[in-house]
Structure 1
Amino acid sequence: MLPTATPTGRKRVSLRSRVTLLAASCVAGAVALVSLGAYLTVRENLYAQIDDTLAQKAENTVQAKWIAETGPGERIPGGLLTLTDVEMAWVQPDGSVLLSTENVPSINSQDLGVARTKTPNWRTDGKTDSRIVAVPYRNGVLVLAQSLGPTKKQLGDLSLVLFLIGGAGVVVAAIAGTAVARTGLRPVQRLTRATERVASTGDLRPIQVDGDDELARLSHSFNLMLAAVADAQDRQRQLVADAGHELRTPLTSLRTNLELLLSAEKPDTPQLSDVDKQEIHGDLRAQLDELTQLIGDLVELAREDAPPLTHEHVDMAEVVEQALARARRRASDVKFEVDLQPWHLFGEPHTLERAVLNLLDNAVKFSPPDGTVRVDLRPAAHGYAFLQVADAGPGIKDSDLPHVFDRFYRSDEARTLPGSGLGLAIVKSAAERHGGAVFAGRSADGGALIAMRLPGSSEPIL
């Protein structure tokens, strides 16, 4: 994968290249440290061996007691004959050489001073590239020199081997890093392709998930996001389709009545009686009211689906009282029995009041004349309270219970009554936005019982 150019003109290195470079760099660093440590350890040991060898040979020579005959009248210390593979010189304190090898080692004043101080002198001679030791010997000085050439050659060979092995390790690490990056980043590539596919085509099909590592969990989370987006799209399409279906009926009736009125105004056409005109006008007002309510409910439901607004302290009992005041004005022939206990929470007062009003309107709509609607708000366990609205109407059939909170759902009995089928859906949305839930069942009077559970506290929340 080649580097790509960023908007600023700089080349952006791909993640795969960065992983490969990181693996190679880590291995190179580790190999370099190990090689340096091995080289320094071997170098120290080799030089220590040279010093040990020179010290041992010098000690053996000094401790040798016998004298060797080299010719008539010529006698030399026999210990000097044991010196091999080193350069040797036996010198007097004044610098005169008594005996030496063919190549005389380098001798300086510090070496000659050993005869006086009786302390061995160690040094490295750069000119002859040798390690030199001078020790006191028979009123003189014994100077031994060991060449460092073979040792340096060994160290050079070791450096070459370590360099080759390290280089091979870096190459292998780069290849392995590339393979690991290609394999490990395959889910990321799938995510990238899926994102590009969604952006270009809107296709929300999930991607394949392999394994159970972090990238697999990322892919699973991405699939959950796609599923959520797909569900939102499906609900949006269903809302539009249901809204179109619900709007079609009042619009068709409205258009029919308007066309009938307009046709009656044309010359040479049958005229409508005053009674017919009043009926048509009443139908028009009812259809406009129905259309207005439906549009208002749709707007309210769309607002409920919006992101949460800033919440504030809400006195739920006060919210219920305000909704009851509006419901009483709308239904003067229905009696309300109210039992409200204190309950406080953080939320949106307007949303909660609209939900409570929808519950009350629903109860009023199905209540018989002079019926009673019971409203109570009371705390329950685990920091929740229940707002229950019960009526004495026909109740909810068992087959309708699972669907009463669905958008645009209307039972057979409710189809002849005014409404959009969105009221209880708005109640459910409001409860869920506040961390609660809704329930439906039968009341003690045989009518419907709708309950909304809300979290909060019986004490004011500061």
Structure 2
Amino acid sequence: MTGPQRLDGPGDRTAADRDEHAERWWRRVPGGREHDRERFTLRARIGVLAALVAATMVLLVSAAAFLVVRQNLTSSLDETLLLRAQSAAESDLINPQLLAALPPAVLGAADLHIALIYSSGVYTSADPSSTPPVGEPELTVARTGQAQGGRTTSLAGEAYRVVAVPAGEGRALVIAQQLDSITRVVSRLGTALPLVGLGGVILAGLAGVAVARTGLRPVQRLTAATERVATTGDLRPIPVSGSDELARLTISFNAMLGALAASHEQQRRLVADAGHELRTPLTSLRTNLELLAAADRVDAPTLPAEDRAELLDDVRAQVEELSHLVGDLVELARDDDPTMTTEALELGEIVERALARVRRRAGEVEFDIHLTRWILDGDASALERAVLNLLDNAVKWSPPGGTVRLSMIPISPEWLVIEVADTGDGIAVGDLPHVFDRFYRADTSRTMPGSGLGLSIVAQAAARHGGEVRAGRAPEGGALLSLALPGRGVPDDASP
């Protein structure tokens, strides 16, 4: 019998499964992570941040204002009490008999408590009810003759501010006043400042939300455009207003949309052109195969051997054309592949290998070759394919008995140009800017074999190696195609 087991659902769950299940459950719970992220937007965060900053500033300013006001009120009271004490010490009020005879109502009206204290600790006042708080600091003034700035003490539960000034040998005049007026002012200030501060915090939060709403409007447009692209594939640019950082971000995003639209258009055109180019050889191949299959039927007329051989030759030619076309398409499909095997290469050797391959199918065309030693870092197969396509193009357009010229011309210590010229009719001026485009074929070449991809592969290889291609008219009268590549020359006396 097995022991108790925990039921987790169908099958056993791993820790990762349980974490994923918990995360999905948490996102469904109101107030969970997903809900919180959707509710606490960037606009709300900016508003809360503004409110927190305002609250901090209000707290600091309120505390500083409270302390400064309280200190100023206390200092003002001390100055008033000291002036009164000094005036009283210079008058007849320092006479004990006069002080004792002073009506208490006078002192009560002024809210003052006055006493004359001796160095022995004995003090005299007008009335017990008007006696100020007297302590060691006041006794020290009577003994030393140095005035006391002021201190706060309590008497019968009431707070008093007390000052003392010398009033003759061994005596000091003490004056005190209750702090209830200052306390009321400070208390009101302590109540008003938080209320005003709270209003300021609320206004700051609302202002922060308003500023965030206005400032983030371009970001909202970018977000909406991104969602639109992800949902519908619509790559229309976003209207740009202003010249700030968000405007530059919008311009960059529009540039990205433009590049993406161009890539989609290029991909669409590549698929459409490839389908168009594949349709013709496939249709011809299917027709020839159907004829051969029909000729093998029992009730079909006998197909002459010459016709069968011609059909088979056509089938082989069409299969070869399809193979070349598929190879060209595969090569062009690597256009976005950033990886490339590079090594130090002798360009002259690559040209010789390409030349050996093209001679086998050149027929009666002659070659005029001018080589030079040139070293560069690159992909040997890509460069050989590019030179081979240049030579094949020149052979195709040269008449029987014509000459194809290939020259390697160093134009600087860092650059070399491979020129391939033929003796054909040349390239029309209107076609020169497009001869290296994919699937581009001039009107005069529609009936010629080829897919229109060979020269685009040459342009792709040049771009991968940091070079460039150009098309023009050769002195011989035909087309002149140039491939410029960076590298370095090899001295004639250098060992191979």
- In structure 1, the residue matched to 2:49 is 22
Match of 2:285 among 229, 242, 254: 254
Q: Distance in 2 between matches of 1:382 and 1:4?
A: 69
Supply the AA of the counterpart residue of 2:62. Answer: S
What residue number does 1:40 align with? 67
Residue-by-residue CA offset, 1:324-351 (whole Å, 9 max, x unaligned): 3333344364433333445444443322
Instruction: Please say which of residues 305-314 and 347-356 is displaced more in the overlay.
Output: 305-314
Confirm or deny: 8 A CA contact 1:308 1:433 kept in the other structure. Answer: no
Are 1:247 and 1:291, in contact at CA under 8 Å, matched by a contact in 2?
yes
Correspondence for 2:90: 63
Structure 2 equivalent of residue 431 of structure 1? 462
Map residues 17-166 of structure 1 onto 2, 5 A cutoff. Answer: 17-64=44-91, 66=92, 75=98, 84-100=110-126, 102-121=129-148, 122-126=150-154, 127-138=157-168, 139-166=170-197
1:22-421 alignment to 2 at 5 Å? 22-64=49-91, 66=92, 75=98, 84-100=110-126, 102-121=129-148, 122-126=150-154, 127-138=157-168, 139-309=170-340, 311-331=342-362, 333-380=364-411, 384-421=415-452
How big is each residue's C-alpha offset from its partner over 1:199-220, in whole Å with a ceiling of 9 and x where there is no partner? 2222222233332222222222
SS of the equivalent of 2:130 reads coil
Does the 8 A contact of 2:167 with 2:173 survive in 1? yes
Picking from 473, 481, 484, the partner of 1:453 is: 484
SS at match of 1:130: strand
AA matched with 1:54:
L
What secondary structure, in the 3-state scheme, does the structure 1 residue paired with 2:430 have?
A: coil
Matches of 1:67 and 1:411 in 2, distance apart?
124
Contact 1:124 1:131 in 2 (8 A): yes
Q: Report SS of the residue matched to 2:62.
A: helix
Task: List runs of 5+ in structure 2 lacking aligned partners.
Answer: 1-29, 492-496
Structure-1 separation of matches of 2:249 and 2:137: 75
Alpha-carbon distance in 2 for matches of 1:199, 1:317: 50
CA distance in 2, matches of 1:338, 1:67: 130
The letter of the residue matching 2:164 is: A
Contact 2:389 2:458 in 1 (8 A): yes
In the other structure, the counterpart of 1:13 is 40
CA distance in 1, matches of 2:487, 2:75: 82
Task: Compute the TM-score of the two structures, normalised by the length of structure 2.
Answer: 0.82
Contact 1:90 1:100 in 2 (8 A): no
Q: 3-state SS of the aligned residue for 1:400?
A: helix
Q: What is the deviation of 1:76?
A: 5.2
* 1:4/1:13 contact within 8 Å kept: no
The 8 Å contact of residues 264 and 270 in structure 1, kept in 2 or not, is answered as yes
- Check the 8 A contact 1:5/1:12 in 2, yes or no: no
Instruction: Report the Cα distance in structure 2 between the residues aligned to 1:166 and 1:382, rounded to whole angstroms.
Output: 75
Structure 1 residue matching 2:466: 3-state secondary structure: coil
Counterpart amino acid of residue 129 in structure 1: A
SS of aligned partner of 2:406: strand
Deviations 1:239-273 (A, max 9, x none): 11111111111111111111111111112221111
RMSD of aligned alpha carbons:
3.1
Match 1:442 to one of 448, 454, 473: 473
Name the SS of the counterpart of 1:143 in structure 2: strand
Conserved? CA contact 1:68–1:78, under 8 Å: no
Q: Percent identity?
A: 51
TM score, norm. by length of structure 1: 0.88
> Would the aligned equivalents of 1:407 and 1:421 in 2 still touch at CA under 8 Å?
yes
Deviates more, 1:141-150 or 1:437-446: 141-150
SS in 2 for 1:413: helix
